[in-house]
Amino acid sequence: MKKQLKFWVGLVISVVAVWFALNGIQFDQVGDSFSRLNWGILALSLIPYFLNLFMKITRWQLLFSPGPKIRLGRLWATLNISYLFNTLLPARLGEIVRAYAISRSEHITPVRALSTIFLEKIMDVMTMFIFLICLLPFLKLGNDIRQAAFITGGLVVVAFVVCMLMAAFRKQAERLIRWFLRFVPGRFREPLFGLVSEVLDVLSILLNFKLSLNLWAQSLVLWLLVVINYMMVAWALNIPLNFELGMVLLIALNLGMVVPSAPGYIGVFEALVKVALLPFFPGQESMLISLGLLLHITGYLPVIIMGAFFTWREGLTLGKVPPVPDLEEDGTGTGSAGKNPSIEEKAAPAGSTPK
């Protein structure tokens, strides 16, 4: 019932988003925009696109420190698999698939892999907030939007500081966690404590100044590459998208894509492009929908194709991916460390989907 509810909620949101995105556009203008497409600039936009993907896997490799280095080729395949499943499944459940896929081939637990993804997302949100703060003086935004941005950013900063304090004062944090776990049923206490310990292990990476500086630098650069990609795709459509507006689009898409939607973010992606840029291009709905469609195609088609290939090569199916990591086995961070879980051991019932 929960899966069905998520599906129908996402479908309704996508239908509403499609209606909003198409409201006020003229299809002949959209067709005209694509007929004048500059294929040379569009091809060049793939350079920052693939550089961004490469930097994502180099950063992810660092997040497994300390420990044996995971091959970049292995991380590349797993990342593209997760993008495919993120496109097919709601609520970005492809991240669960990513953790499972990397744990199958490496001597790590799914919880350890999920912890690195958790830290990755923290760094991404913090980077978005840094971009937003830098943008505010240059954009004409209403006081309500500015206030909401500062409140959201403030909450993110507070959450990040709390996480870092817990990692820095590990023993005190563990005592506090055990105190809270007294209110949890006995059989879940140790698995949950193990899960939190894995997260703290990964967060402690940021206490290493040199490693942390490397990670933050890569986070800034990889998202700047996304902005450059957006600008070049817009230029291919003869849309004068400057760096500041590229940043606005980046923030709107990354924060807005957490909204449930139909598979492939149909409608939601285009609606977000329209909402983000319409105040700066008033009356240009058709032009913005052309940009949204082209960004959607060029942003998702390459990773879908690569993800489908690597999924086939790995022999992965939805029925072979566990709905959640097994806390009883993996939550302590020791039970399955150093093992490669077999498909038979971890398989979910046929036809099930990650949760």
Question: Measuring CA to CA, which residue among 136, 134, 103, 137 is closest to residue 117?
Answer: 103
Query: Any idea which of 150-164, 210-224, 244-258, 328-342 has the lowest mean pLDDT?
Result: 328-342
pLDDT recorded at residue 228 = 96
Looking at the predicted structure, is the pLDDT value of residue 118 above 80? yes
Radius of gyration of the chain (CA): 21
Percent of all residues in the chain with a pLDDT value above 90, rounded to a whole number: 22
* Helices and strands: H and E segment counts in the chain: 16, 0
DSSP 12-58: HHHHHHHHHHHTT--HHHHHHHHHT--HHHHHHTHHHHHHHHHHHHH
Which amino acid is present at 41? I
Q: How far is CA 245 from CA 12, 136, 257, 289, 319, in A?
A: 29, 11, 18, 16, 42
Q: What is the pLDDT averaged over residues 226-233?
A: 96
The SS3 call for residue 135 is helix
pTM for this entry:
0.78
Domain chopping of the chain, boundaries: 12-346
Average pLDDT over the chain reads 78
Distance CA 319, CA 337 (A): 23
Q: What is the pLDDT of residues 278-288, one digit of tens each?
A: 888 888 888 88
